[in-house]
Structure 1
């Protein structure tokens, strides 16, 4: 079971390198992450975008484009470059996809295309990995980047997607905390109603390979002391592996608060597609992008072994 990002990189390093397609690759932070991943023997890279701009960004990132592991495919139009990168994954020329200097809406349109896209599951959702709280602990969180205001069925799919990521990292039956503002069902708080239904669905085996409990406040999900102090009984008492947040706004704020105030290391992936997708925020550091590549590499290799 992988419990920190050093172990994540070590695991990725032990697997065969995977082929990464970068859409609109002329982004310095993205190329710095690509450079580090190549140096760790995690990937080879196909860089789609404006060749001259890629060259400029590569200089700033310290990336040698003449390396054997790198291929640059010139295309000035961001839409076409995004489409080419997606098609490269679709046709087996690459194993995973990464967003570069392009708006998320542009590349998502290509990912969701019925003919050439990568959709596999009913719901594409974002899973973030946060290192902590405390030593040797990774917390998975969904969804702070894709599904704005999920309904109950979408939440089931999001749990399934997140459980798939956790299981790929060695968590055979992860504990899923359905987060709300308190631990009691309140008819005036819809998140608590969904949480109670999801917990019962988990209890009845409708959500496989996971232990689901909720509604739970964040402190109870992450702190045993808080759970004991509040007298909350259940399957999860501070030892949640996966946090399912009520909506995108909560997830986005939680993620950015952890980074801004806690300096937490992060990684992330879009799940529910036929291949891992790295769709990091423009504000994410190249370290977050590098760890996201390492995560995608592990997931891509696990996909190939199925």
Structure 2
């Protein structure tokens, strides 16, 4: 493996169907929980996201969380949002993250601060996600800071990720926004959580029509939903997400709703693997990381690639 490339990038380039997870850092200075979650995911995912003050709530930093994950033997994907930092702070954090061994970055604009626990905080939004992607690419490929000053040596060679939402309106525009991110430098994408497979397939048709699946690696976002109550809440209260009535009813009818949630995830993954252009799944089980091994195993995604060699996923 090229030492400058992350394990995640190497697996994509070798044609693996990649599996990533997600860990939400705590609202405290204790990293023990992150380490425990990473240990649950080790051997079952190829890398894991560390969210950056998700929903604008103060949490342990994504970079510090990435260090705990690295120490647990899992490769981190550090999220970087534009909400809280100007371009000086972002570039400083990127240099710091790379110096600590973090080679994957996921670039996001970030939820507005009004959604979080400091709604009167001043926002920054010096850059948006597309500008952030372009800046990271220039730091890596042109060896320059955003101001144009040369990075004389040891530039950060990040594998650059972005997010895509196939479910937000206007529907057709989402593909064009994705293309803008690719043009800016995005190499891989993780999508919003997918429950409506029909709409996701229509979106992937548009992606393929523009050849975007050949220009970036696309990972489908999956979430195990613990109960019908949670599914109904997401259906009614979470914008930009489509939760079919059939899924809510299926969970409600199940004797063991958590076991049913796992079965739904497994079915979704098996379906997604047959959609042309999808190169992996991103399993978002924040707060329920211990369920991920069972999902991965039942979906036929084991063994995961081991260090020192590449093993094809079964199934």
TM-score under structure 1 length normalisation: 0.32
Q: Which has the higher strand share?
A: 1
Bigger relative contact order (CA 8 A; separation at least 6): 1
